[in-house]
Amino acid sequence: MGTTAQLGYLGLEVSDLGAWRRFATEALGLEVGALRPGGALPLRMDGHQHRFLLHEGPANDVAYIGWELADGAALEVLCGRLDRARVPFRAGTATEAAERGVKQLIHFVDPNGIRVEICHGPSMGAVPFRPGKIRSGFHTGDQGMGHVLINARDCAETERFYRDVLSFALTDYVHSEAPDRPLHAVFLHVNPRHHSLAFAELPLSKRLHHFMLEANSVDDVGAAFYRCQDLGVPLQRGLGRHQNDRMLSFYGYTPSGFCFEIGWGGRVIDDRHWEVKTYPGASEWGHRPLAPA
């Protein structure tokens, strides 16, 4: 995908828009925009006009993942790769591009049945983003909006698809054979962020396990951890630091039942010196389970 790609936006199908409005503002510190003509609710976290689009519906899962490329030429190169790999894709309509707030997009379905959109030319907000509950703001820019961990149907097939067809770069693996918590997770990057996409075969019915948003200050992570408890947001894992991306974070449940992670201090990758490793566990310390995954 090149190193100028980023996780651009996430489309979520949620059954309770009202709960999400409060959760997004009060817990995550996002800015809720005006409902779009198609009925989607935009959430903003940086200069982009939005980074989330919420669609009302029963799935309570990811609806699509949007990857942003530098320009139309990069999108054309990617279309060539899809053609050569015989992955059927379609051009987004003008209505879809307007709703997503991008100049152009294409879309296809990944091996997990997730709709993937590749775009360029995002609309930026008319006024600068003003941080709310996450007072230091979010670490985005060329590292994109954060990362997602998806529940893969077949980890090996998903790895092949994202690395070989879409040219995501391998970061590392977490492989644990602990009887209580066996895990094989794959971490991929498309820019200096340690990973923008991770996946594992999880005992979940949803395709999305969590999305991660990175604050600019560690204090915002601690404050969010306690704020979520005050708000009654169910937490999944307490504060801890991951071994591979060094992210200091905690996990909680969104109103749709999949998780969010709020972190700080994520590792940055320089591809020239990167050595792929396999880690025996996910966390260096903490991340103690507070509720079932």
Instruction: Compute CA distances 109 → 52, 87, 204, whole Å.
Output: 19, 9, 20
Contacts of 119 (CB under 8 A, 6+ apart): 8, 66, 67, 68, 69, 75, 92, 97, 100, 102, 103, 104, 105, 106
Query: Measured from the CB atom, is 45 or 78 closer to Fe ion?
Result: 45
Taking the complex as a whole, the smallest distance from the CB of residue 195 to Fe ion amounts, in Å, to 8
Residue 249 CB, nearest distance to Fe ion (Å)?
Answer: 7
Work out how close the CB of 135 gets to Fe ion at its nearest, in angstroms, rounded to a whole number.
Answer: 22
CA–CA distance, 180 with 69 (Å, rounded to integer): 40
- Residue 49 or 236 with smaller CB distance to Fe ion: 236
Residue with CB nearest Fe ion?
212
Residues that bind Fe ion (CB under 5 A): 212, 261
| Least spacing, CB of residue 187 vs Fe ion, in Å | 9
DSSP letter for each residue of 235-282: EEEEEEEESSS--EEEEEE-TTSSEEEEEE---B--GGG---EEES-S
User: Closest CB to Fe ion among 57 and 289?
Assistant: 289
CB nearer to Fe ion: pick between 66 and 240: 240
- Pick 99 or 261: Cβ nearer Fe ion: 261
Work out how close the CB of 278 gets to Fe ion at its nearest, in angstroms, rounded to a whole number: 17
